[in-house]
Amino acid sequence: MTDAIIIDTRGLSCPLPVLLAKKQLRAIAPGTLVRILATDPLAPEDFRDFCRVSGCAWVGSRETEDGALEITIRQTEA
Residue in 53, 4, 9 with CA at minimum distance from that of residue 31: 4
> CA 23, 73, 55: angle at the middle one, nearest 5?
70
φ, ψ (nearest 5 deg) of residue 17: -60, -45
Paired with 35 in beta bridges are: 6, 72
Active-site choice (14, 16, 33, 51): 14
Q: Is 14 a catalytic residue?
A: yes
Point out the residues that are catalytic. 14
